[in-house]
């Protein structure tokens, strides 16, 4: 039996480490009551972070956009994330970092300026957004009736907990017998889905939406792989009709990498299996990960640090 109290996961909240089952935040904090949070997620695979500095850099940019100022600097956040993984001992982990707004102290104006900001983080066993079994046959997608929250209201480039539109889209997908939903903007262009960016292969060109989306780290990695393999790629507007008639579609996210699809709104693409371009990019992504591409080894000895 594993007698490590952190084996199921380790957390850090406001300066303290604890087993994941003991992690909690105050129910009155605005991070909970108002979804006043920004976050990021980095993956650990075979004992190595992938693009750790890029994730921390994006996390800091999100905090600045949403006017969070925690006491921890980037180096301290890096130490926290490493120690959460080290305490758990996990070789493959889903590692989250959050910055939450607390609550104004009594006697101060009831305004976010006066609410304390603090960092929370945790490492738990690896999470697949799309299971390996679904990836094998290709995800089944639908274009949701629910529209993405407009960027003028909630900036999608700053990761946030405003998931009401994405969650509603997922229920639409379930009701229509699909795995995942893609959301459109008010002009009828594809944006993203619940926790992932989307790519279409159209006449040999890999295309991904240019607006209304998180600027994904795995999305960036796909662009680098396309450059390496000599596959044309574009960042531009993609209409719903283009998506429905694409030769191939694949998704990208930290918690799953490159995830091919095989159906869109009931239409079968190719032979109802992941297409050749999607498969080549997926295989290259995981092959390069195995070689140590953008890798930062976890310092497991940090579990004993005092």
pLDDT digits (tens, 9 = 90+) for 117-140: 999 999 999 999 999 999 999 999
Beta-bridge mates of residue 140: 263
Asked if the model's pLDDT at residue 154 lies above 80, the reply is: yes
Domains of the chain, residue spans: 10-127, 132-291
- Say whether 49 sits in a helix, a strand or coil: strand
> Residues 18-65: pLDDT tens digits?
999 999 999 999 999 999 999 999 999 999 999 999 999 999 999 999
pLDDT, one tens digit per residue, over 258-276 is 999 999 999 999 999 999 9
What pLDDT was estimated at residue 306? 52
Topology adopted by domain 10-127 = D-amino Acid Aminotransferase; Chain A, domain 1 (3.30.470)
Both tokens of 52, joined, read: 């750790």
Return d(Cα 152, Cα 20) in angstroms, integer.
36
**Domain 132-291 belongs to what topology?**
D-amino Acid Aminotransferase; Chain A, domain 2 (3.20.10)
> In this predicted structure, what is the pLDDT of residue 304?
82
Let me know the angle formed at the C-alpha of 207 by 270 and 172, rounded to the nearest 5 degrees: 70
Is residue 169 very low, low, confident or very high in pLDDT (cuts 50, 70, 90)?
very high
Give yes or no on whether 10-127 and 132-291 have one common fold. no
Both tokens assigned to 61: 């940019």
pLDDT (0 to 100) of residue 115: 97
Cα–Cα distance measured from residue 19 to residue 65, given in angstroms and rounded to the nearest whole number: 31
pLDDT on residue 1:
55
Instruction: Give CA separation, 212 vs 27, 38, 157, 202, 217, in Å.
Output: 31, 17, 8, 20, 16
Are 267 and 232 within 8 A, CB to CB?
no
pTM (2 d.p.): 0.96
Predicted local distance difference test score (pLDDT) of residue 30: 97
pLDDT at res. 305: 67
**b/e per residue 240-268 (b: at least 16 CB within 10 A):** beebbebbbbbbbbbbbbbbbbbbbeeee
Tokens 């889903």 found at: 94
């Amino acid at each position: 039996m594993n007698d490590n109290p952190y084996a199921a996961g380790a957390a850090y909240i406001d300066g303290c480490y604890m087993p994941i089952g003991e992690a909690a935040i105050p129910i009155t904090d605005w991070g909970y009551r108002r979804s006043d949070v920004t976050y990021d997620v980095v993956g650990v695979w075979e004992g190595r972070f992938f693009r750790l500095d890029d994730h921390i850099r994006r996390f800091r940019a999100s905090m600045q956009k949403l006017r969070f100022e925690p006491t921890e600097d980037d180096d301290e956040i890096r130490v926290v994330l490493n120690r959460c993984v080290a305490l758990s001992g996990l070789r493959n982990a889903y590692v989250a970092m959050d910055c939450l707004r607390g609550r104004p102290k009594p006697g101060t104006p009831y305004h976010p300026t006066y609410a304390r900001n603090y960092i929370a983080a945790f490492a738990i066993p690896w999470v697949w957004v799309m299971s390996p079994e679904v990836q094998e046959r290709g995800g089944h997608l639908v274009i949701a009736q629910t529209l993405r929250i407009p960027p003028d209201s909630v900036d999608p480039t700053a990761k946030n907990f405003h998931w009401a539109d994405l969650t509603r889209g997922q229920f639409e997908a379930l009701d229509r017998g699909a795995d995942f939903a893609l959301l459109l903007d008010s002009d009828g262009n594809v944006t993203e889905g619940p926790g992932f960016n989307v790519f279409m292969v159209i006449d040999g060109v890999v295309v991904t939406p240019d607006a209304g989306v998180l600027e994904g780290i795995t999305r960036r990695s796909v662009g680098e792989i396309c450059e390496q393999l000599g596959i044309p790629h574009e960042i531009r507007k993609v209409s719903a009709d283009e998506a429905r008639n694409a030769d191939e579609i694949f998704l990208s996210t930290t918690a799953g990498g490159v995830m091919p699809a095989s159906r869109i709104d009931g239409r079968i693409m190719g032979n109802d299996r992941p297409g050749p371009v999607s498969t080549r990019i997926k295989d290259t992504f995981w092959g390069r990960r195995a070689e140590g591409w953008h890798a930062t080894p976890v310092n497991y000895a940090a579990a004993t640090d005092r």
